[in-house]
């Protein structure tokens, strides 16, 4: 009898032990066998690939550890001609079940005992039809990328449906005003503040109901920035000074580099054109070193991602950040809407050029207008 009691106690102890990792299992209907599915971990504005699995008989699985809990994750399928959207969910050290059917990933369901996930499911249930429509329009886009007229029409249609989603999600927030103090609601409110046309005073009323820890977070700062959007400088205006730091934490101001031309480079790990631009930036950093200072402003909020991006792009120029990402700070102050964005400032601290995107030779073409190199 004593042995049985000991055995029962051991079994009970093991069953009560908390998990030290997450477990994600998928059971999806109507998906072709051998389809590759990828798990992305979100770091604010950047999604990093964690692992890829192969779907067979509708089954897939992932497991691992987290740096932060809970963490926002996405499931995507790279085959964009047959699959669209992403399945977003929250991960913690628990079991997470993904179910669904078909090629529209935003209609798949995630279930777990994570509080943020339960709230997210409230939003997803209300917007499932709109998400299905967005995913279907995205598939039509991928079928004919060369048809610019069709692409414009479809992008406008997707934007219209997305605005409907924001209105629905805002109503969910209002209807659950006593249960808005969670990361899901904070993220939803930021997206509404950033991308919807809902009256800002109404958004502010919801924000004011949140706990201080959410209002004082980086995303909370981002919401306030969107509600009180600063007017960015344009060509002909003076630079707006910034407080920045390098990877070692040393503090700088943008005005520290006055007296020469300054090229501001807004970039991040998740920016593919930034990879293409890096070799030419290294080249002009050497060619124009007596006349020009390149100041990279990294928009990753995670220090390790910033370090990874710096190593990847072999950055040789001034490499700084304010830690605000795309939520607030430099990104908002200078009115950045895409990456990479470049702002050229003359020795008198006046903005003389601004452009978004990279093309071969673009730096030399732009600089040649202002700097005479013999």
Q: Give the integer Cα–Cα distance in Å for 72 and 89.
A: 6
pLDDT in tens, 35-70: 999 999 998 778 889 999 999 999 999 999 998 899
Predicted confidence at residue 323, as pLDDT, reads 95
pLDDT in tens, 206-234: 999 999 999 999 999 999 999 998 899 99
Tokens 């777990």, residue? 112
Q: Give the integer Cα–Cα distance in Å for 221 and 215.
A: 7
Give me the mean pLDDT over the 168-176 stretch.
97
Residue 108 and residue 29 in contact, taking contact as beta carbons nearer than 8 Å: no
Q: Give the integer Cα–Cα distance in Å for 289 and 361.
A: 17
pLDDT in tens, 350-367: 999 999 999 999 999 999
Nearest to 139, CA basis, from 157, 119, 123: 157
- Other CB atoms within 10 Å distance of the CB of residue 32: 11
pLDDT in tens, 103-116: 999 999 999 999 99
Model confidence, pTM:
0.90
Report cis status (omega within 30 of 0) of the bond before 75: no
The CATH number given to 243-368 is: 3.40.30.10
Domain topology for 16-113 = Immunoglobulin-like (2.60.40)
Predicted confidence at residue 1, as pLDDT, reads 52
Predicted confidence at residue 139, as pLDDT, reads 96
Confidence of residue 259 (pLDDT cuts 50, 70, 90): very high
Predicted confidence at residue 372, as pLDDT, reads 80
Tokens 């702002």, residue? 343
Residue 116 and residue 123 in contact, taking contact as beta carbons nearer than 8 Å: no
Confidence of residue 309 (pLDDT cuts 50, 70, 90): very high
Q: Where are the alpha helices (DSSP H) in the chain?
A: 2-16, 115-143, 148-175, 183-195, 200-208, 212-215, 218-227, 272-287, 303-312, 330-333, 362-368
Predicted confidence at residue 374, as pLDDT, reads 57
- Listed by start position, the domains of the chain span 16-113, 162-227, 243-368
Q: Give the integer Cα–Cα distance in Å for 175 and 123.
A: 11
Handedness of CA 100, 105, 107, 111 (dihedral sign): positive
Predicted confidence at residue 11, as pLDDT, reads 47
Name the pairing type of β-strands 71-76 and 59-64: unpaired
pLDDT in tens, 237-254: 999 999 999 999 999 999
Predicted confidence at residue 43, as pLDDT, reads 87
């Amino acid at each position: 009898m004593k042995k049985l009691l000991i055995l029962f106690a051991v079994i009970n102890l093991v069953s009560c032990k908390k998990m030290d990792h997450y477990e994600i299992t998928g059971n999806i209907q109507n998906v072709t066998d051998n389809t590759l599915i990828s798990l992305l971990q979100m770091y604010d504005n950047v999604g990093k690939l964690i692992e890829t699995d192969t779907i067979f008989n509708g089954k897939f699985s992932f497991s691992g550890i987290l740096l932060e809990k809970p963490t926002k994750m996405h499931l995507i399928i790279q085959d964009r001609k047959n699959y669209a959207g992403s399945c977003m969910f929250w991960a913690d050290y628990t079991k997470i079940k993904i179910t669904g059917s078909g090629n529209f990933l935003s209609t798949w369901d995630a279930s777990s005992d994570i509080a943020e996930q339960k709230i997210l499911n409230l939003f997803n249930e209300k917007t499932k039809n709109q998400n299905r429509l967005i995913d279907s329009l995205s598939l039509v886009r991928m079928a004919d990328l060369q048809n610019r007229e069709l692409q414009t029409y479809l992008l406008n249609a997707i934007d219209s449906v997305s605005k409907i989603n924001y209105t629905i999600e805002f109503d969910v927030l209002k209807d659950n005003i006593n249960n808005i103090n969670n990361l899901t609601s904070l993220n939803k409110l930021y997206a509404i503040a950033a991308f919807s046309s809902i009256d800002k005073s109404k958004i502010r009323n919801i924000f004011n109901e949140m706990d201080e820890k959410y209002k004082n977070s980086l995303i909370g700062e981002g919401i306030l920035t969107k509600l009180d959007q600063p007017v960015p400088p344009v060509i002909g205006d003076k630079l707006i000074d910034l407080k920045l730091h390098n990877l070692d934490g040393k503090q700088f101001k943008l005005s520290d580099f006055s007296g020469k031309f300054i090229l501001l480079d807004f970039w991040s790990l998740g920016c593919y054109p930034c990879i293409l631009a890096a070799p030419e930036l290294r080249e002009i950093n050497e060619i124009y070193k007596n006349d020009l200072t390149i100041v990279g402003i990294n928009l990753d909020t995670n220090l390790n991602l910033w370090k990874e991006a710096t190593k990847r792009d072999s950055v040789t120029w001034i490499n700084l950040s304010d830690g605000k990402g795309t939520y607030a700070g430099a990104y908002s102050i200078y009115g950045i809407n895409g990456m990479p964005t470049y702002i050229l400032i003359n020795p008198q601290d006046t903005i003389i050029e601004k452009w978004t995107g990279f093309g071969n030779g673009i730096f030399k073409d732009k600089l040649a207008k202002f700097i005479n190199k013999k």
